[in-house]
Chains A and B, each alone.
Chain A
Amino acid sequence: AQKVTQAQTEISVVEKEDVTLDCVYETRDTTYYLFWYKQPPSGELVFLIRRNSFDEQNEISGRYSWNFQKSTSSFNFTITASQVVDSAVYFCAPTTGNQFYFGTGTSLTVIP
């Protein structure tokens, strides 16, 4: 059985603060892919990042960075120097083969 947990329901930060969004994906599958999507108030989901289960290298892209630790099943996403436009719901979305899952989402509010 697969289980996706985004324990943080809502987060508020002040602009320019760093914020980390947590995701835990429990599965017996050895091959899977992990995605983060952002859904701003307009409603359209936007793809942010993708990692596969074999690659535990942490990466940075602009203000985004992510940390994947297979041993703890965690796939965390960090926004540095947050901006008001980062306010959105963020979904962790693991997939295996033709199975698609979305976590329950974390609502991020960046206060100016």
Chain B
Amino acid sequence: DTEVTQTPKHLVMGMTNKKSLKCEQHMGHRAMYWYKQKAKKPPELMFVYSYEKLSINESVPSRFSPECPNSSLLNLHLHALQPEDSALYLCASSQLGLGYNEQFFGPGTRLTVL
């Protein structure tokens, strides 16, 4: 199984809502990532988990809260988002959280904040 799955595919939420994005992989990878991608822009790294511990937080606002319950699952909890947070949120995994490992990406969650 070489797939990274993400749910939901689309999400529309108000600025006062609380929602969560989910990501799952069954490749035995020990590193997982969250990226944010605006239209016609490259992905921007948000968080990296390595061996279920947060190893990189790219100064992301606290309204985004990551969680890694186990090595196969990665969540992104959303609270009090702003309209400018509307974007494609991509999850990825790699064998290890080191630069030489290629990343496998999920199809993304397209988030709209009203």
Question: Which residue of A42, A52, A98 contacts B55 across the interface (Cβ within 8 Å)?
Answer: A98
Give chain B nearest CB distance to A57 CB in angstroms. Answer: 17
In angstroms, Cα B108 to Cα A104, docked, is 19
In angstroms, Cα B110 to Cα A42, docked, is 11
A-B contact count (CB 8 A): 53
Question: Which residue of A45, A97, A102, A104 contacts B99 across the interface (Cβ within 8 Å)?
Answer: A97
A95 at the interface (CB under 8 A from B): yes
Asked if residues B107 and A44 are in contact (CB atoms below 8 Å), the reply is yes
B32 at the interface (CB under 8 A from A): no
B49 at the interface (CB under 8 A from A): no
What is the interface size of chain A, counting residues whose CB is below 8 A from a CB of the partner? 23
Q: For chain B residues 83-114, which have a beta carbon within 8 Å of chain A?
A: 88, 90, 92, 97-100, 102-108, 110
Q: Please, what's the 1-or-0 string for A88-112, where 1 marks a CB less than 8 Å from any CB in chain B?
A: 0001000111111011110000000
Q: Write the chain A residue with the least CB distance to B110.
A: A43
Residue among B92, B105, B106 with most chain A CB within 10 A: B105
Give chain B nearest CB distance to A24 CB in angstroms. Answer: 15
Using CB atoms and an 8 Å cutoff, list the residues of chain A in contact with chain B. 32-33, 35, 37, 42-47, 50, 52, 91, 95-100, 102-105
